[in-house]
Amino acid sequence: MENMDNMNNYENDNLQNWQEQQKAPSYQGELSRGKYNVLIGVHLLYGLALTAFLCVKLPYLFPQLYSVHPVVFTLGFFAICLVGGWIARSGNYLLSIIGYTMTVMGFGTLLSLTVIFYPVHLVILAAVLTFTVVLTMTVAAVFMPNAFLSMGKVLFISLIGLVVAELVSFFLGMYYPNLFAVIGIFIFSLYVGYDWARGQQYPTTPSFACYTALQLYMDIINLFVRILRLMGRRR
């Protein structure tokens, strides 16, 4: 799951190129700000609902998936997430939906391999705490967008530093899961506010609503995993 962090960030200088590609057909015309934000929420709920379905049903529908070597399993679905994220950035709404769904399928499959090791009540509690954090940071970003937008470079550097530190400490045999979980929770909490505020800077087209939902989705999943890891002991 650690490798999923790398997908959370895209270079801001790609935004201008993508905006220029928005030669939108009628279904990609700009929406009102309210409809745009509602569409972000609809896409986000779709992704989270699909993820929940995969976590609950996948181990029973396709148990043979979990017989694959963990490294091959993780790398394979991580590759799906990368390809899906790339497609979601195409600027075409239909392709964005396809890419978003691919990414969610990859994340959901990987997450299903994690949650099966935790008691159900801890998974539910972690989900409730994640929702509380996401709601709080989203509201904060609505009222203080510039404060979050100014954090972009710092958050990106912090995330890269966290990933490097986790990998190095793991291979050195000095891994501190609780410490890294707390740092990750802090970073991804701020990322929720940052990605919401950044999403408000985009043109209000359906494709950008889908793209913003993808960014928030990845923040939420990473936040949830770290909260769950901090709270629970594997059964």
Is the pLDDT at 73 greater than 90, yes or no?
no
Residue 86 lies in a domain: yes
AA letter at 121: H
Is the pLDDT at 174 greater than 70, yes or no?
yes
Share of the chain above pLDDT 90, in %: 51
Mean pLDDT value across the chain: 83
Is the pLDDT at 94 greater than 70, yes or no?
yes
The count of structural domains within the chain is 1
Residue 50 lies in a domain: yes
AA letter at 78: F
Residue 8 lies in a domain: no
Residue 223 lies in a domain: yes
Is the pLDDT at 11 greater than 80, yes or no?
no
Residue 22 lies in a domain: no
Residue 187 lies in a domain: yes
pLDDT-based confidence at 216, cuts 50/70/90? very high
Residue 17 lies in a domain: no
pLDDT digits (tens, 9 = 90+) for 114-173: 888 888 899 999 999 999 999 999 999 999 999 999 999 999 999 999 989 988 887 887
d(CA 148, CA 93): 27
Residue 112 lies in domain: 31-231
Residue 219 lies in a domain: yes
Share of the chain above pLDDT 70, in %: 81
Query: pTM of this prediction?
Result: 0.83
